A = this chain, B = another copy of it.
């Protein structure tokens, strides 16, 4: 436990965000509270409220680290020669990030804002960027399609891949026999794109 007054504001924020990620990984989303985070970094819960507006803001900052990992994967795939390969790579990377981070990755999707408030702009911008990266590849595939069609395709592929990942990390993909989750992603991405191109 670090001693107090050893850290400046930015360091403290970083410590708190790190603590959220660790708690989520070790004990799940429900274990993340101002109290448990404060205890882990050796400060009072009250101190946390000097650093973050509320619990939501603290959690969103931790989730942003995970979203940034996904964004990095999307951007790395962006310059693949074919958009089909880029999309396949993005989706496999999505699975890899989910696999490697388990509960921390789940926290991104389990977390709900208090009173159903909208997420702040800085966070929404990241999510929009993630979508835009997938949409960009669909636009490369079919430059003449309407934006609404590209948006629907990007959202469909993303939520479908997301479902595979969720079931894979909770071990539920195995129902009805063992299965290779990478093969499921490949089947999903290739066939969806092929069908979409032919529509």
Contact = CB atoms under 8 A, between A and B. Distances in A.
B155 A176 contact: yes
A62 B196 CA distance: 39
A175 interface: yes
Contacts of A30: 30
Interface in A121-172: 124, 127-128, 130-131, 151-156, 159-167, 170-172
Copies of this chain present in the complex amount to 2
A173 interface: yes
Nearest to A177: B151
Given A159-B184, A164-B159, A166-B166, A109 B195 contact: no
A127 B131 CA distance: 33
A174 to B, nearest CB: 9
Interface residues of A, number: 45
Interface string A169-199: 0111101110100011001101111111011
A112 interface: yes
A98 B183 CA distance: 26
Nearest to A163: B163
Contacts of A190: 195, 199
Nearest to A191: B195
Contact of A163 (B110, B127, B164, B195): B164
A59 B160 CA distance: 27
A85 to B, nearest CB: 16
A152 B184 contact: yes
B156 A188 contact: yes
Contacts of A166: 162-163, 166
